[in-house]
Chain A
């Protein structure tokens, strides 16, 4: 078995009385692309925010490379080699592209003085890499002036800069044109080819099927299904399985209404 970069053990998250996640256990191995799917409000973003250290779980344990972590937070998550493109992109709109790319990761020398020249060069290289070829766009451009797709590009550039071992993409293709969507998929395959891992959230099952090696379906805060690509001959097979899950509960997947009644 390949090494597990990160593992969630029996993770639950309550927002007040709302149970966003309950008893989630999953792991992500080196070099695999995991597709995370589920309805709106299923808890996908909450789950990746826990991995990113932004949301603290109510209970459960996080293991990084097999070892339990304490004081898990966003800085630790990034230091552990996990980069996240959040659903809301997490950009500072009044700042330049280069400032957003190096947000929280400023290239500084001793005493904290910035290496502005190096940051500019690296930002230019990254922008080329993700296909920002427009002459009008420079690392100095203000992010608030960019289009939605371009902003998404900045968030992705930030995630790839560090050559992180696990890149989490929360609906990276929402609001992207077909060409841009293709670029994202090409990028996911590149990451996989270089032996690193991707956790990919998407609503388009066909897209997710095309790119992922393994699928995790979340339903109302629980893992409803885990399947590897080898088990599923086509995207349609995955869709059929998901439709079955969406049907009224038959005891197979306990709903929260049932869980609450039984307490």
Chain B
């Protein structure tokens, strides 16, 4: 057959086949994030059909873009922790704790930049402590990090006795201008969060740290036999969560000009759900940063979408649950597990 085809025609056929192969390869390599994107697309289509007017206005998207970044700073490092085969439930308190340090430094009259630096240091240090406790004492991270969450929140409550810290000076600070004020109608924090997601996705797929996280989560014994410092890789994922939690705490304080002793608590379940809605499985070894970001997008649109679609706020939790369950079923069908 092929000799009957004119040369130029066969050349185009070949490039066509090559493009087809490339697309198939891309889909095969990105099943999880594409699945998460499909869930998001279907959900938005339903909302749009329910109330075309509300969902074609920019306002609704801007309100999501104000709070979504905080969730992104938390979701992305959690993908690393889940992929390495652990879980970190102490991130809400770590976020509150780091934000507290930020608030204390700023309230004392120091530069907000110094406060941010102190908060980041605090977050990473807490991550190191939480991670070391879990890894080196060989504890169940599910229970131990839950315990650490209570301990850290308890320290915050004891020290502050429920009192918030008002930070009116932040309103004029350049830190806020750079990190949390609108740029051409888009909240700046969403651009920073996007940069964070891209950086983390590169770290996950093209950096030694990311690939070792996957190998350790996949088969820790093999990783150890090949000379990988399994425990230190695990601890590093907890430090990364501490960094993300600190950034989330700083941004949320910059948005509100006030630090609350409960800071971070509201993110606990939505952020956790986002990781799995995004397509990272619970069993470790594989995960997707971009999927996690899309999961966060999906979860933060549920509330806005349900109310925008004209339903009462009482429906929000119900739809949260429906989306979580449907996503899990979809990912289960979409991804095979190899062992």
Binding site for B on A (CB under 8 A): 52-54, 73-78, 84, 86, 88-95, 99, 103-106, 108, 112-114, 116, 140, 142-145, 158
Residues of A within 8 A of B209 (CB): 112
Which residues on A sit within 8 Å (CB–CB) of B222?
Answer: 89-92, 103
CB within 8 Å of A: which B184-235 residues: 206-209, 211-212, 214-215, 218-219, 221-229
* Interchain residue pairs with CB less than 8 A apart (26): A52-B225, A54-B224, A74-B227, A75-B228, A77-B227, A89-B222, A90-B226, A91-B222, A92-B223, A95-B211, A95-B214, A95-B285, A99-B214, A103-B215, A103-B228, A104-B212, A104-B215, A113-B206, A113-B207, A114-B207, A114-B208, A114-B211, A142-B338, A144-B338, A144-B339, A145-B338
**Which residue from chain B places its CB closest to the CB of A108 in the assembled complex?**
B208
Bound-state CA distance A74–B286 (Å) is 24
Bound together, the chains give a CA A114 to CA B215 distance in angstroms of 15
**Closest B residue to A74 using CB positions:** B227
Q: Say whether A94 contacts B227, CB under 8 Å.
A: no
Given A91-B219, A106-B211, output 10 extra A-B contacts at Cβ < 8 Å: A74-B226, A89-B222, A94-B214, A94-B339, A99-B215, A103-B222, A103-B228, A104-B212, A114-B206, A114-B211
Q: Which residue from chain B places its CB closest to the CB of A79 in the assembled complex?
A: B227
Which residues on the A side are within 8 Å of B225 (C-beta)? 52, 54, 74, 84, 86, 90
Would you give the shortest CB distance from A52 to chain B, in whole angstroms?
A: 7
Does A105 lie within 8 Å of B218, measured CB to CB?
A: no
Q: Which B residues are CB-close (under 8 A) to A112?
A: 207-209
A52-B225, A92-B219 are contacts. A116–B206 as well, Cβ < 8 Å?
yes
Given contact pairs A92-B285, A95-B218, A73 touches B339 in the complex (Cβ within 8 A) = no
Top-6 shortest CB links A-B: A144-B338, A75-B227, A104-B226, A92-B218, A90-B222, A74-B227
User: Considering the chains assembled together, what is the distance between the CA atoms of A43 and B69 in angstroms?
Assistant: 56
How far apart are A56's CB and chain B's nearest CB, in angstroms? 12
Interchain CA distance A42-B215 in the complex, whole Å: 31
Minimum CB–CB distance for A119 against chain B, Å: 10
B337 contacts the other chain (CB 8 A) = yes
Most B C-beta atoms less than 10 A away, residue of A73, A95, A114, A144: A95
Q: A94-B286, A113-B206, A114-B206 are in contact. Are A103 and B338 (CB under 8 A)?
A: no
Q: Which residues of B contact A104 (CB under 8 A)?
A: 212, 215, 223, 226-228
Task: Look across to chain A and name the residue whose beta carbon is closest to the beta carbon of B220.
Answer: A92
**Contact call B214/A103, Cβ cutoff below 8 A:** no
Q: What is the bound-complex CA distance between A54 and B208, given in angstroms?
A: 22
Residues in B with CB closer than 8 Å to A145 are 338
Contact yes or no, B286 A103, CB < 8 A: no
Closest-CB distance, A94 to chain B (whole angstroms):
4
A47 CB, min distance to chain B CBs, angstroms: 15
Residues of chain B contacted by A73 (CB below 8 angstroms): 227
Q: Which B residues are in CB contact (< 8 Å) with A92?
A: 214-215, 218-219, 222-223, 285
**Given A95-B215, A144-B338, A103:B208 Cβ within 8 A:** no
Closest chain A residue, CB of each to CB of B29 = A140
> In the complex, how many residue pairs between chain A and chain B have their CB atoms under 8 Å apart?
91
Chain B residue nearest to A112 (CB atoms) is B208
Instruction: Tell me the nearest residue of chain B to A116, going by C-beta.
Output: B206
With a CB–CB cut-off of 8 A, which chain A residues contact B206? 113-114, 116
Q: Which residue of A lies closest to B219 (CB)?
A: A92
Tell me, in angstroms, the Cα distance from A53 to B337 when the chains sit together: 30
Q: How far is the CA of A104 from the CA of B223 in the complex (A)?
A: 7
- Return chain B residues, CB-CB under 8 Å to A99: 211, 214-215
A160 to chain B, nearest CB (A): 14
B283 to A, closest residue via Cβ? A94
Within the assembled complex, what's the spacing in Å between the Cα atoms of A206 and B183? 76
Known contacts A106-B208, A113-B206: does B226 contact A94 (CB below 8 Å)?
A: no
A139 to chain B, nearest CB (A): 12
Q: State the Cβ distance, A155 to closest chain B Cβ, in Å.
A: 10
* Complex Cα–Cα for A45 and B82 (A): 32
Which one of B29, B207, B227, B339 has the highest number of Cβ atoms from chain A below 10 Å of its Cβ? B227
CA distance A93 to B223 in the complex (A): 12
Q: How far is the CA of A90 from the CA of B218 in the complex (A)?
A: 11
Task: List the B side residues contacting A89 at CB < 8 Å.
Answer: 222
Closest to B206 in A: A114
* Nearest CB of chain B from residue A48's CB, rounded to whole Å: 11
Q: How far does the alpha carbon of A143 sit from the alpha carbon of B219 in the complex, in Å?
A: 12
Residue among B206, B223, B225, B228 with the highest chain A CB neighbour number at 10 A: B225
- B residues 53-67 with Cβ under 8 Å of A? none
Assembled-state Cα–Cα distance A88/B221 (Å): 10
Please indicate the chain A residues that have their CB under 8 angstroms from the CB of B215 in the complex.
92, 95, 99, 103-104
A75 to B, closest residue via Cβ = B227
Also in contact, A94 and B228, with CB within 8 A (given A104-B223, A113-B207): no
Task: Quote the shortest CB–CB distance from A7 to chain B (angstroms).
Answer: 21
Task: Evaluate contact between A90 and B208: CB separation under 8 angstroms.
Answer: no
Considering the complex, give the chain B residue whose CB is closest to the CB of A114. Answer: B206
Contact of B221 among A78, A90, A95 (CB under 8 A): A90
Which of the residues A53, A76, A94 comes within 8 Å of B338, measured between beta carbons? A94
Q: How close is A108's CB to chain B, nearest CB, in angstroms?
A: 5
Verify B214–A78 contact, CB threshold 8 A: no
Report the minimum CB–CB distance from A214 to chain B (whole Å).
26
Cα distance, A142 to B25, chains bound together (Å)? 13
Give A99's nearest chain B residue, CB to CB: B211
